[in-house]
């Protein structure tokens, strides 16, 4: 009985599951994670691998423990592992970019203890249309409030700049008046003295 199960498992591993890898990659992108994006990290690729392993769980597929080197959460990012130590590369450079779906069985087996059940994939965030109306209205209200706060902040900043400019202008005018007054007093001093002297003589 064991040999029959082993033979079935071996046959399933040798089946090219490239179409499942392609479907898992499409699901990952639909969830808002693009493994081919320039800013993507290794965990974006691992999201594809998780989905493939889950899709093939019935034939013993899982992920490969890899605590060191290139990994995500301690797992190999683009390897499907089987309980007998068989591993398969599922992503690589090709016509569809750096993460072209593939199914390449590695001729060398690894320690079966490195097999692990796949963790849950990252869930797709709900679209605004999927939210209840009251939550959607609340989100829209928050967005409007943010926009108003930003407008108020800009107005306050403009007012501060205007006040600073006006204060500087007023100070300049005061300084000019003081200078003009001092000059007028200096220019009028001889005339005032003459008037005073005339009054004394009379």
110-123: pLDDT as tens digits = 999 999 999 988 87
More confident residue, 17 or 178: 17
pLDDT of residue 28: 94
Q: Encoding tokens for residue 174?
A: 């005061």
pLDDT of residue 8: 46
Other C-beta atoms closer than 10 Å to the C-beta of 65 total 16
pLDDT of residue 181: 66
Helices (H), the chain: 2-14, 18-30, 42-55, 133-201
Q: Encoding tokens for residue 6?
A: 């082993």
Whether 3 has a pLDDT exceeding 50, the answer reads: no
pLDDT digit string, tens, across residues 9-56: 454 556 899 999 999 999 999 999 999 888 778 999 999 999 999 999
pLDDT of residue 143: 72
Q: Encoding tokens for residue 102?
A: 């593939």
Q: Encoding tokens for residue 61?
A: 């597929």
Residue 65 forms beta bridges with which residues? 75
Read off the pLDDT band of 7 (50, 70, 90).
Answer: very low
Give CA angle at 130 (127, 133), nearest 5°.
Answer: 120
3-state secondary structure of 94: strand
- Domain residue spans in the chain? 2-125, 130-202
Enter the pTM of the model.
Answer: 0.56
CA-wise closest residue to 46 among 110, 104, 106, 91: 91
pLDDT digit string, tens, across residues 64-102: 999 999 899 999 999 999 999 999 999 998 888 889 999
């Amino acid at each position: 009985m064991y040999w029959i199960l082993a033979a079935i498992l071996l046959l399933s591993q040798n089946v090219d599951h490239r179409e499942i890898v392609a479907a898992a990659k499409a699901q990952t992108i639909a969830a808002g994670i693009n493994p081919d994006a320039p800013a993507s990290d290794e965990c974006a690729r691992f999201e594809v691998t998780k989905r493939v392993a889950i899709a093939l769980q019935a034939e013993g597929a899982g992920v490969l423990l890899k605590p060191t080197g290139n990994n995500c959460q301690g797992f190999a990012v683009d390897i499907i592992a089987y309980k007998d130590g068989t591993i398969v590369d599922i992503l690589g450079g090709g016509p569809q970019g750096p993460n072209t779906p593939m199914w390449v069985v590695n001729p060398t087996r690894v320690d079966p203890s490195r097999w692990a059940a796949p963790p849950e994939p990252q869930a797709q965030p709900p679209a605004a249309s999927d939210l209840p109306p009251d939550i959607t209205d609340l989100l829209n209200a928050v967005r409007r409030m943010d926009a108003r706060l930003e407008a108020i902040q800009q107005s306050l900043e403009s007012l501060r700049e205007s006040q600073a400019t006006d204060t500087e202008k007023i100070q300049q005018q005061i300084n000019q008046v003081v200078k003009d007054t001092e000059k007028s007093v200096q220019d009028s001093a001889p005339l005032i003295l003459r008037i005073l002297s005339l009054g004394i003589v009379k």
